[in-house]
């Protein structure tokens, strides 16, 4: 049966390019000259030590056999112990330095990936494929692939090269012995080469087994990450207990783990068989080495100490060569994971950043116009918006209503440039918004989305969206958002932690309280545009009415866009845009729309019947 080609296989030239880029990337993350100074120095020291011991031990055995004086023996013992002690001392220092430097580098890698997530286009953040790629890279990094294996393979290569040089230097004298025939020396060299070829092949097949197993575990690992994240978070405990989910969750996890363990067992049995073949070749060679050394000893040219030295060095040489090949093979495998990491880091940000400065005005005066705007999300062919035309002035309060999926939230995402239109253009003061500096343009908007996020930081930091904040301004915004009474009850005021992620005494919030804090955050920013996407969906009727009745006060002179399913809130807005099927089907005031046939009146009557029956 013809073997299918590996879709992730790379040519040698690509392997080299990935490795070069990986080292450049590693060198950009911290103090690479320090980490590699410690890594290479410690590796050389650790791998020279066995040869120091072998060399002096052989000398000591020969001295004992020859009956040398006790003083000479004592000197050899002191040299052996002292050398190893000093090398161990140096190795410990280098190892400690490497641990500190590598920790800095790997923390920098994590932060670099976070920065990538913060800087990529919002379309990529919402892309399910990008999210899956990020989750996979995180999981692979936790298992050692990417940068850790890059350092580990470097260490193994340096170690094997050190052992090869030391082994060769201590065994080369054997091939110069005149008493050992040339064909025996050639047979030994051939045996070493044959053992190396066998080891290389076994390592290649072992790595292939591991790689196939790791590929089969991708979905299970991603599942496990999400699974443990869910069951370990304290907020999940209520649902698990109320709905008696524990048995079902445990059963699901057991099934996944049983499949994973079965695959792991099969992999290890295969590797065990391959290792057995490799060991057989190695010990056959060792047997041959002993025979040759015994021949040399009977010929009177190999001392007792030399026998121990040659056997040890030949075995170490074989192990070093095998280790070097294994390290290269592991690096080639790791390059696949590095390629995936770089594919994530290389995701482009297609959003044109613009260069024009957004004019700052004390009165926040500006005009926004959607001019024949249509939009469909990436990787889809269905339009979320079609031929939208709307214009609103500074200080105007615009309500956006419609059924689920009618395009309301998409309208807001385009307005604040989380996406660019597929067709048409959006103008700010007559200029295409894509021409403005991206960050400056984004600074015009304060938004409360339906899926807003509060963090496990202090209340003040959540409102200010930053580490430092103006306490008086935070309190003012919280009171304005209807959180005043709850603020008075907070144990540490604005310094109270929300939730329990960082502080066990953190305050748990209801959905409505969280919405009020999110509204206060929008007010704290004091931007030109205030956009509220279902801002009262979690509020009780009294709190909801308070927000409605004080809507003009809350918005002030800001231009406000108010999205809601509850049409009663629209009475407080200057104009209402009614969306249906991605189009604006009606535009007008609450009174004007209510007293004529159309989508708005249908929606109003559908909601009103529950209050009039």
The string of pLDDT tens digits covering residues 125-145 is 888 888 888 888 887 777 777
How far is 210 from 526, CA to CA, in rounded Å?
Answer: 56
The pair of structure tokens assigned to 152 is 């580990």
Residue (of 73, 79, 63, 81) closest to 304 by Cα position: 63
Q: Return the pLDDT at 374.
A: 94
- pLDDT attached to residue 370: 93
Sort 235 into a burial class: Cβ within 10 Å, 0-12 / 13-18 / 19+: exposed
Average pLDDT over residues 367-384: 89
Distance CA 536, CA 565 (A): 10
- Residues 564, 567, 569, 574, CA torsion sign: positive
- The strand order across the sheet containing 431-432 reads 383-392, 368-376, 423-428, 431-432
| Residues 59-106 pLDDT 10s | 777 777 777 787 877 888 888 888 888 888 988 888 888 787 777 777
Q: What is the pLDDT of residues 410-444, one digit of tens each?
A: 998 999 898 999 999 999 988 999 999 988 888 88
* Tokens at 403, concatenated: 């059924």
Whole-number pLDDT of residue 552: 65
| pLDDT band, very low/low/confident/very high, at 112 (cuts 50, 70, 90) | confident
Give the HSE-up count for residue 520: Cα atoms under 13 Å, Cβ half-sphere.
30
- In this model, does residue 564 exceed pLDDT 60? yes
Q: What is the mean pLDDT of residues 143-158?
A: 83
Residue 597 has pLDDT above 80, yes or no: yes
Q: Count Cβ neighbours within 10 Å for each residue of 25-42 and write b for 16 or more, e otherwise.
A: bbeebbebebbbebbbbb
Token reading at 165? 């040089």
How many other CB atoms are there within 10 angstroms of residue 90's CB atom? 16
- Per residue in 175-197, pLDDT (tens digit) is 777 767 777 778 777 877 787 77
Q: What is the pLDDT of residue 485?
A: 85
Given a cut of 50, whether residue 537 has pLDDT beyond it is: yes
Q: Which of 79-83, 256-260, 294-298, 456-460 has the lowest mean pLDDT?
A: 294-298
**In 10 A of CB 247, how many CB atoms?**
8
Q: How far does Cα 328 stand from its chain's mean position?
A: 25
| Nearest CA among 522, 606, 599, 567 for reference residue 400 | 567
Q: Which of 9-18, 303-312, 460-469 has the lowest mean pLDDT?
A: 303-312
Residue 407 pLDDT greater than 70, yes or no: yes
Q: What is the mean pLDDT of the chain?
A: 81
Residue owning tokens 């990787």: 379
pTM of the entire predicted model: 0.73
CB 311 within 8 A of CB 188: no
Contact between 97 and 34 under an 8 Å Cβ cutoff? The reply is yes
Structure tokens at 429: 């003061």
Residue burial 107-118, b: 16+ Cβ < 10 Å; e: rest = ebbeeebeebee
Q: Is the pLDDT of residue 478 over 50?
A: yes
Residue pLDDT, tens place only, 267-293: 888 888 888 887 787 777 777 777 777
Q: Can you tell me the distance from the alpha carbon of 94 to that of 396, in angstroms, rounded to the nearest whole number?
A: 67
Question: Of the candidates 308, 255, 561, 187, which has an alpha carbon nearest to the alpha carbon of residue 411?
Answer: 561
Residue-level pLDDT at 32: 58
Strand partners, 198: none
């Amino acid at each position: 049966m013809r073997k299918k080609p590996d879709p992730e296989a790379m040519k040698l030239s690509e392997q080299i390019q990935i490795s070069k880029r990986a080292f450049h990337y590693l060198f950009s993350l911290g103090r690479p000259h320090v980490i590699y100074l410690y890594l290479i120095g410690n590796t050389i020291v650790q791998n020279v030590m066995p040869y120091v011991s072998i060399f002096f031990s052989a000398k000591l055995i020969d001295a004992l056999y020859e009956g040398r004086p006790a003083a000479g023996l004592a000197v050899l013992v002191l040299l052996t112990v002292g050398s190893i002690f000093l090398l161990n001392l140096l190795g410990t220092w280098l190892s400690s330095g490497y641990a500190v430097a590598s920790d800095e580098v790997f923390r920098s890698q994590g932060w670099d990936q976070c920065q990538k997530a913060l800087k990529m286009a919002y379309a990529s953040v919402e892309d399910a494929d990008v999210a899956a790629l990020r989750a996979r890279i995180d999981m692979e990094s936790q298992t050692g692939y990417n940068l850790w294996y890059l350092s580990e393979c470097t260490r193994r290569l340096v170690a094997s090269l050190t052992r090869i040089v030391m082994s060769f230097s201590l065994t080369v004298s054997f091939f110069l012995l005149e008493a050992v025939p040339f064909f025996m020396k050639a047979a030994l060299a051939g045996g070493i080469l044959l053992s190396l070829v066998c080891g290389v092949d076994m390592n290649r097949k072992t790595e292939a087994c591991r790689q196939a197993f790791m590929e089969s575990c991708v979905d299970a690992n991603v599942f496990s990450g999400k699974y443990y994240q869910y069951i370990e978070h304290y907020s999940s405990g209520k649902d698990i207990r109320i709905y008696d989910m524990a048995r079902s969750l445990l059963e699901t996890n057991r099934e996944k783990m049983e499949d994973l363990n079965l695959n792991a067992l099969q992999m290890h049995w295969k590797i065990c068989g391959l290792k057995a073949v490799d060991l057989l070749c190695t010990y056959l060679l060792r047997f041959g080495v002993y025979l040759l050394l015994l021949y040399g000893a009977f010929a009177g040219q190999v001392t007792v100490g030399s026998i121990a030295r040659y056997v040890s060095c030949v075995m170490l040489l074989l192990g070093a060569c095998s280790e070097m090949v294994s390290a290269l093979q592991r690096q080639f495998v790791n390059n696949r994971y590095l390629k995936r990491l770089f594919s994530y880091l290389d995701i482009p940000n297609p959003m044109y950043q613009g260069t024009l400065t957004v004019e700052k005005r004390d009165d926040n005066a500006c005009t926004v116009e959607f001019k024949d705007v249509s939009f469909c999300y990436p990787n889809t062919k269905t339009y979320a918006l079609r031929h939208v035309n709307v214009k609103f002035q500074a200080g105007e309060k615009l309500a956006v209503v419609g059924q689920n999926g009618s395009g309301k939230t998409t309208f807001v995402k385009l307005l604040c440039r989380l996406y660019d239109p597929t067709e048409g253009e959006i103008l700010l003061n007559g200029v295409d918004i894509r021409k403005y500096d991206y960050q400056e343009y984004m600074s015009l908007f304060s938004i409360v989305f339906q899926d807003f996020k509060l963090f496990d930081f202090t209340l003040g930091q959540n409102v200010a969206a930053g580490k430092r904040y103006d306490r008086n301004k935070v309190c003012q915004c919280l009171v304005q958002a209807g959180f005043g009474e709850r603020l008075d009850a907070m144990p540490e005021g604005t310094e109270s932690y929300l939730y329990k992620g960082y502080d066990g005494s953190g305050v748990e919030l209801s959905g409505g309280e969280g919405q009020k804090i999110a509204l206060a955050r929008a007010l704290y920013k004091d931007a030109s545009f205030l956009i509220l996407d279902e801002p009262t969906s979690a509020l009780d009727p009294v709190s909801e009415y308070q927000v409605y009745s004080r809507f003009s006060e809350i918005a002030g002179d800001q231009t406000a866009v108010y999205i809601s399913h509850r049409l009663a809130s629209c009475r407080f807005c200057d104009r209402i845009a009614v969306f249906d099927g991605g189009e604006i089907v009606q535009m007008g005031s609450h009174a004007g729309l209510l007293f004529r046939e159309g989508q708005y009146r249908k929606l109003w009557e559908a909601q009103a019947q529950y209050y009039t029956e």
